[in-house]
Amino acid sequence: MNDKKKKKHWERSRQEFMEFTREQRQAIETGAEKALVVAGPGSGKTTVLTERLCTLLERGVPAEKILLLSFTRASSKEMEERFFRKMGIRAGRPRFSTIHALCFSLLREDLGYKKEDLVNLYEKMDWLSQYYLEKGILREEVQELLPGLIAQISYFKSIGERERIAYLQKEKQEDFLALYHFYEESRKKRGKLDFEDLLLEVLRILMEKGDLAKAWQSRFSHILVDEFQDLSLVQYEIIKSLAKSPNALFVVGDEDQSIYGFRGASPGILLSFTRDYPNCERIFLSDNFRSYREIVELSKRLIGKNKERFQKKLQGRQGSGGKAKYYALATGKEEAKLLVQHIEEAKEEGCPLEEVAILCRSRKQIPALLPLFMERGIPYSLTEEVQNVFQHFVGKDILAYLRLTINKESRGELLQILNKPYRGLLREKIQREESPFSDLKKAYRGRKEERALLLLEAQLQKMQELPVQERILFIRKDMGYEQYLESFAKKKNRDFEELQSLLEELTAMAEQTEGVEAFFRFVEKFNADCLQRQKEESGEGVRIMTYHGAKGLEFDEVFLPDCIEGIIPDGRAKTQEELEEERRSFYVALTRARKKIHIYVTKERYSKKVKPSRFIPELLGG
């Protein structure tokens, strides 16, 4: 870009610059060596970061000396694309990266690390499977647990020693600690690093190897950090070391949106910035350009209950016209029907389905919403992977029981549940493909096992008279399947509550269907849907996702089902710190809405009485 064109570009930029608020201009133009920008929802932080990059280039900072760190690859790519749309490829190329990618590149370029030195997902799963195999537990029995265990190991490696001790004491994780040591021994024996090790190794070098640390610190004169509230302590220490004076550090975040505690993030890290850099410039972007005033005021009342936060004057700049509606229903079935009805009404009123989002606290809430969408032909998009409960052994067992209520001579289904719970029946007694139940009756006639077999036959017959949801409850309670799972979990050192939650999920899905045949049609379509989503993501229709998945997004209308105790806040949240993170999660969900929020509460969930979330009165200023 020649000088004339460059000057013309910056003349256009100055015209745009006058349209920014005073606080935004302050952030874009600051000359402070260290600056903290606290950016509330909808305050234009991405635009501010992009303009900040442009300003640095205008001031003559070499592009290769500028580093912008984002929390995810997707956000890093988005920031890079926005920058080059504005400046053009000839403007130079600042470095856009995640912190993990940055650390790997430093180790690769200066110490010869290769991609093969990193642990991949399959290796992790193989090592953990080997750990359980040595305890007599087959891989198939722990398959669905492995992703959670891997995440648990990552979290444990990302927190400090004091936090580790507290975590182990609170969770009574002696079994986890043994698993963790096995994993670390397996990794070290093979000379491998995982993502957390990349960070720890870079931090060690920065702390211990002066010459290499100075070389790394000299690479970047200006470091900008997006989503600063999502950093772990280790990540923050790396950034502090890279940004040693005279390097400039410009961070943007919002402690009210710190919701990744399970990854080691904490709002305290953002709050400590002003203690670590007492002379830093602190700028608040408090104007929300996304949401109507009523939405901003509602969410502001909620987050104001948190103690660990900056006090800030959040205000809506879109004017009045927002609506927040609250619905109290008796059951989950009524809730789902009303929610779908409201979405259809929103569409009739002219709201594109792509501007509608259903946000759930947990992925486990999502499948129960889908039967009605499928039945009504409403397109939807799942932006996160949802566990297919029908591919889990618990789901397969329940489906087998249900199919046996239609045809008790179904051999595969009978073998699936033959001793779940234990009945003393042997698989080898089944001789014929077409009449397995008759074979068992013949084999056990006059023997003690005959009583269990006749009881099973009577139970299957009784279930034929029940609605599909009642059939599942009958299998769980009257037939003793839930008790069998509890015994299985104890024997195999599994989490019974996790298995029980799958039963609840199945029961909730059945509640939304009319009749067992309709339920099987739903299962077939759900399985096909899950398979299709593994191949491609259409992105069309209503967006259904978790609070965490929605972070950074915005929609005209947001629907929040299951706003009850045990869901939000999560029943496992006990401490003040945990409850504040739950409140922040709810705050993130609320602030995704531009125009309307729909909040749903039920009096009963999974056949149990429940109470509205404690956050509901807080929204009203209580």
Residue 188 has pLDDT above 80, yes or no: yes
What's residue 355's pLDDT? Answer: 96
Residue 535 has pLDDT above 50, yes or no: no
Any idea what DSSP says for residue 120?
P
Q: Highest mean pLDDT: which of 40-44, 134-138, 169-173?
A: 40-44
Burial class (CB in 10 A: 0-12, 13-18, 19+), 240: middle
* Whether 184 contacts 93, CB under 8 Å: no
Level-2 CATH architecture, domain 390-520: Orthogonal Bundle (1.10)
Question: Tell me: the pLDDT tens digits for 392-408?
Answer: 899 999 999 999 999 88
Is position 55 annotated in a ligand binding site? no
Residue 1 has pLDDT above 70, yes or no: no
Residue 536 has pLDDT above 50, yes or no: no
Residue 70's DSSP bridge partners are 98
Question: Tell me: the pLDDT tens digits for 481-491?
Answer: 999 999 988 88
What interhelical angle do 210-217 and 233-242 show, nearest 10? 80
Provide the sign of the torsion angle of the four alpha carbons 80, 83, 88, 94, taken in this order.
Answer: negative
Same fold, 24-112+199-285 and 390-520: no
What's residue 11's pLDDT? Answer: 43
* Closest C-alpha among 318, 310, 313, 322 to residue 273: 310
Give 605's Cβ-side CA count (13 Å radius).
21
Is position 602 annotated in a ligand binding site? no
- 395: its two tokens: 């789901």
Can you give the residue ranges of every domain in the chain?
Answer: 24-112+199-285, 119-192, 315-379+540-620, 390-520
Total residue count of the chain as it appears in this document: 622
Predicted confidence band of residue 601 (pLDDT cuts 50, 70, 90): very high
Average pLDDT over residues 159-164: 79
pTM: 0.85
Q: Name the residue with tokens 């629907």.
A: 559
Q: Tell me the percentage of the chain whose pLDDT exceeds 90.
A: 58
Alpha carbon distance 303, 586 (integer Å): 9
What interhelical angle do 121-133 and 146-158 show, nearest 10? 110
Is position 441 annotated in a ligand binding site? no
- Three-state secondary structure string covering 413-455: HHHHHCCCCCCCCCHHHCCCCCCHHHHHHHHCCCCCHHHHHHH
Q: In what order do the strands lie in the sheet with 95-98?
A: 95-98, 66-70, 222-225, 248-253, 34-39, 281-285
What's residue 437's pLDDT? Answer: 84
* Whether 33 contacts 278, CB under 8 Å: no
* Whether 355 contacts 557, CB under 8 Å: yes
The values of phi and psi at residue 583, to 5°, are -65, -40
Instruction: Kindly provide the residue ranges of all beta strands, DSSP E only, lying in 424-546, ordered along the sequence.
Output: 542-546
Angular region, 92: left φ>0, alpha ψ -120 to 50, beta rest: left
What's residue 2's pLDDT? Answer: 46
Residue 8 has pLDDT above 50, yes or no: no
* Whether 91 contacts 74, CB under 8 Å: no
* Closest C-alpha among 380, 196, 306 to residue 582: 306
Predicted confidence band of residue 167 (pLDDT cuts 50, 70, 90): confident
Is position 47 annotated in a ligand binding site? no
Contacts of 218 (CB under 8 A, 6+ apart): none
Contacts of 200 (CB under 8 A, 6+ apart): 157, 234
Predicted confidence band of residue 532 (pLDDT cuts 50, 70, 90): low
Average pLDDT over residues 235-262: 94
Q: Name the residue with tokens 């009881």.
A: 455
Name the superfamily (CATH) of residues 315-379+540-620: P-loop containing nucleotide triphosphate hydrolases (3.40.50.300)
Predicted confidence band of residue 5 (pLDDT cuts 50, 70, 90): very low
Question: Tell me: the pLDDT tens digits for 284-333?
Answer: 999 999 999 999 999 999 999 999 999 888 999 999 999 999 999 998 88
Name the superfamily (CATH) of residues 24-112+199-285: P-loop containing nucleotide triphosphate hydrolases (3.40.50.300)
Is position 39 annotated in a ligand binding site? yes
Residue 6 has pLDDT above 50, yes or no: no
Alpha carbon distance 33, 619 (integer Å): 39
Is position 41 annotated in a ligand binding site? yes
- 197: its two tokens: 């090790």
Average pLDDT over residues 470-482: 94
* Whether 229 contacts 270, CB under 8 Å: yes
